[in-house]
């Protein structure tokens, strides 16, 4: 395929490849298409509304980079000084409400058959997360898949709900994702993709989104396999507050904005006419983590607990120290460690009902404060992430869904945030490996460094994930040294991503699972 080829989309217009990229030690070039609109700009009267089909454009659309990201508030995280995240990860540059665009990474190879398609939903607690973070060059080039990365609305713009019986039902961000899947089904064949072989994958909030699409009748038929990294729909209230919490937050918002109307239509009209920056400011200062998916009687016809899960092959997993970043955000003494008293205080907050058993798991007369901190971090990660992912694996497997579970235990040489040594494999540490960052040229690595063993691990992880995208089985068509077993509630087998070689394990977290399920209250 020639450099800079032009694709004609019958119902929209023409789009030209904006950039050609390559992975190291790989001859396949990747065509990068940026800034393709998949919905109308959600501005003015379309703010807080479900996305609407994109309109045709004149001329040839050609962007050389991601130019627009969702309007969001980095301040909503209230980052502590201990959590020094890379500056380029959550930049506000080019942040705008007019954000519903997608990027396509298509290998420049001629095939007699269309290529499998993988659609990535980014994480960010549903509050932030631009698609610009994820360069899929290596994933596409080395594995002969087409990768699509759409933006979706986050924070107040993506998840404000005035009630499921109103015009503003919420879940606009999830509906944006669905609209991108509809666009893929309609258009991906013109880029060489197979509309009948689409895998959705995502991390954290993106992984939760993947699981939620498996539960929504609206999403049925728009994807055929699913991969969730560190995120499932059954995660605790930190990701999905109860309805009364949503109502409380909305009430506080309206009071802060001096909106006295009670009719939801009039409230919506006033909110649609406010400057976007004013809403972002309140989102940052007042609510921090405040806007999430909620029951809307539209995307969700029933609660996630009661929903029927689509019987598509499901691959999911988590990391050994998922709680590291949360400790950094919530714990003042994150670097130096915790005393016994501080551990007791934070554990009570985390677990709500406290059990003396937990205090007996460590010898405080011998343990260093950093080790106590490490225990707390593991507890936090286990409660919020690991436990829920194991529960989901068991539930889906029991319902006849082909389920594959992974656990990443290798602490990367270079982390996405500067964290103390007692934090192992933190939340999102697997994503650079999933996207093949070790094989990107230095200009695209964002400062990451990798060892030879880590490069091998990344290559094997990509092969597993793209095998799954191609066939629904991570072991085919390209065999690896380690065979990934199906997960079921009897054998409970999983693969462990580590170096120098990937391992097969069993009974992941079963000892803690009993404790958290039986001894402690639901979070």
Q: Are strands 101-107 and 115-121 parallel, antiparallel or unpaired?
A: unpaired
Q: Say how many C-beta atoms besides its own lie within 10 A of residue 377's C-beta.
A: 27
What pLDDT, on the 0 to 100 scale, is given for residue 286?
A: 53
What pLDDT, on the 0 to 100 scale, is given for residue 2?
A: 44
User: What is the radius of gyration, based on Cα positions, of the chain?
Assistant: 22
- Among 119-133, 189-203, 383-397, 496-510, whose mean pLDDT is lowest? 119-133
122 domain-assigned? yes
Evaluate if residue 128 carries a pLDDT over 70: yes
Average pLDDT (332-360) is 48
Average pLDDT in the chain: 83
d(CA 294, CA 124): 17
- Among 104-118, 322-336, 386-400, whose mean pLDDT is lowest? 322-336
Evaluate if residue 449 carries a pLDDT over 50: yes
Average pLDDT (122-134) is 80
More confident residue, 334 or 151: 151
Cα–chain center distance at 421: 25
- Residue 213: pLDDT band (50, 70, 90) is very high
Strands (DSSP E) along 260-419, which ranges?
314-319, 403-408, 417-418
Beta bridge partners of 44: none
Which distant-in-sequence residues (6+ apart) come within 8 Å of 22 by Cβ? 28, 29, 30, 137, 141, 441
Evaluate if residue 266 carries a pLDDT over 90: yes
User: For the sheet containing 6-9, what is the strand order?
Assistant: 6-9, 13-16, 60-61
Average pLDDT (225-248) is 75
Which distant-in-sequence residues (6+ apart) come within 8 Å of 442 by Cβ? none
148 domain-assigned? yes
Indicate the SS3 state at residue 337. Answer: coil
CB 256 within 8 A of CB 238: no
Provide the annotated active-site residues.
Answer: 204, 322, 427
Average pLDDT (232-252) is 70
At 155, which CATH number?
3.40.50.1820
More confident residue, 246 or 319: 319
**Range 195-207 burial, b when 16+ CB lie within 10 A, else e:** eebbbbbbbbbbb
Torsion of CA 217, 218, 222, 223, to 10 degrees: -50
What pLDDT, on the 0 to 100 scale, is given for residue 247?
A: 78
Percent with pLDDT over 70 in the chain: 76
Q: Exposed/middle/buried for 493, CB within 10 Å: 0-12, 13-18, 19+? A: middle
d(CA 445, CA 21): 13
Cα–chain center distance at 149: 12
d(CA 160, CA 296): 11
Average pLDDT (363-372) is 49
More confident residue, 345 or 424: 424
Which residue range is the domain that position 228 belongs to? 6-312
350 domain-assigned? no
Give the DSSP H or E segment for 266: helix 264-273
Q: Which residue has the tokens 């930190």?
A: 238
- pTM value is 0.88
428 domain-assigned? no
Cα–chain center distance at 290: 17
32 domain-assigned? yes
| Residue of 258, 3, 67, 287 lying closest to 157 (CA atoms) | 287
Phi then psi for 202, rounded to 5 degrees?
Answer: -170, 170
d(CA 182, CA 176): 10
Indicate the SS3 state at residue 333. Answer: coil
Cα–chain center distance at 212: 12
Indicate the SS3 state at residue 38. Answer: coil
- Domain tally for the chain? 1
Q: Exposed/middle/buried for 260, CB within 10 Å: 0-12, 13-18, 19+? A: exposed
Q: Say how many C-beta atoms besides its own lie within 10 A of residue 336's C-beta.
A: 12
What pLDDT, on the 0 to 100 scale, is given for residue 244?
A: 59
**Range 52-80 burial, b when 16+ CB lie within 10 A, else e:** eebeeeeeebbbeebebbbbbbbbbbebe
d(CA 395, CA 149): 29
Average pLDDT (27-41) is 97
134 domain-assigned? yes
Evaluate if residue 91 carries a pLDDT over 70: no
Q: Say how many C-beta atoms besides its own lie within 10 A of residue 50's C-beta.
A: 20
d(CA 77, CA 58): 40
- Residue 519: pLDDT band (50, 70, 90) is very low
CB 462 within 8 A of CB 434: yes
């Amino acid at each position: 395929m020639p450099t800079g080829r032009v694709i004609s989309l019958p119902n929209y217009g023409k789009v030209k490849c904006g950039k050609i990229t390559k992975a190291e030690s790989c001859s396949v070039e990747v065509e990068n298409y940026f800034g393709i609109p998949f919905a109308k700009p959600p501005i003015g009267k379309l703010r807080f509304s479900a996305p609407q089909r994109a309109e045709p454009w004149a001329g040839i659309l050609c962007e050389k980079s991601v130019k627009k990201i969702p309007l969001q508030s980095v301040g909503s995280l209230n980052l502590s000084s201990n959590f020094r995240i890379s500056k380029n990860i959550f930049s506000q540059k080019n942040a705008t409400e007019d954000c519903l665009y997608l990027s396509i990474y298509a290998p420049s190879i001629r095939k007699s058959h269309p290529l499998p398609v993988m659609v990535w939903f980014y994480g960010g607690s549903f509050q932030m997360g631009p698609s610009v973070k994820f360069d899929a060059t290596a994933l596409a080039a080395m594995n002969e898949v087409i990768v699509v990365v759409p933006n979706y609305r986050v924070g107040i713009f993506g998840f404000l709900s005035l009630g499921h019986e109103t015009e503003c039902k919420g879940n606009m961000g999830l509906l944006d994702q669905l609209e991108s899947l509809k666009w893929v089904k309609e258009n991906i064949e013109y880029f060489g993709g197979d509309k009948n072989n689409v895998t959705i994958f995502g991390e954290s909030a993106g992984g939760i989104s993947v699981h939620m699409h498996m539960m929504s009748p609206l999403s049925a038929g728009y994807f055929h396999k699913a991969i969730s990294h560190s995120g499932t729909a059954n995660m605790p209230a930190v990701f999905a507050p109860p309805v009364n919490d949503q109502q409380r937050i909305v009430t506080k918002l309206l009071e802060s904005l001096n909106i006295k109307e009670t009719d939801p239509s009039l409230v919506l009209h006033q909110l649609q006419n406010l400057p976007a920056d004013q809403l972002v400011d309140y989102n940052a200062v007042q609510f921090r983590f405040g806007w999430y998916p909620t029951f809307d009687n539209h995307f969700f016809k029933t609660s996630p607990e009661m929903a029927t899960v689509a019987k598509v092959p499901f691959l999911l997993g988590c990391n050994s120290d998922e709680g590291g970043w949360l400790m950094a955000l919530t714990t003042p003494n994150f670097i130096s460690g915790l005393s016994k008293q501080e551990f007791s205080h934070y554990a009570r907050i985390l677990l709500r009902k406290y059990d003396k058993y937990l205090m007996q798991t460590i010898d405080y007369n011998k343990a260093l404060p950093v080790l106590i901190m490490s225990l707390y971090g593991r507890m936090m990660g286990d409660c919020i992430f690991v436990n829920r992912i194991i529960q989901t694996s068991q539930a889906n497997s029991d319902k006849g869904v082909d389920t594959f579970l992974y656990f990443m235990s290798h602490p990367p040489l270079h982390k996405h945030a500067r964290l103390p040594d007692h934090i192992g494999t933190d939340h999102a540490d697997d994503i650079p490996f999933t996207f093949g960052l070790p094989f990107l040229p230095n200009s695209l690595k964002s400062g990451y460094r990798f060892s030879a063993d880590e490069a091998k691990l990344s290559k094997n992880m990509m092969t597993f994930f793209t095998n799954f995208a191609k066939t629904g089985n991570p072991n085919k068509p390209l065999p690896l040294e380690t065979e990934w077993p199906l997960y079921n509630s009897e054998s409970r087998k999983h693969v462990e991503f580590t170096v120098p070689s990937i391992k097969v394990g069993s009974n992941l977290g079963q000892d803690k699972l009993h404790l958290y399920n039986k001894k402690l209250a639901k979070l």
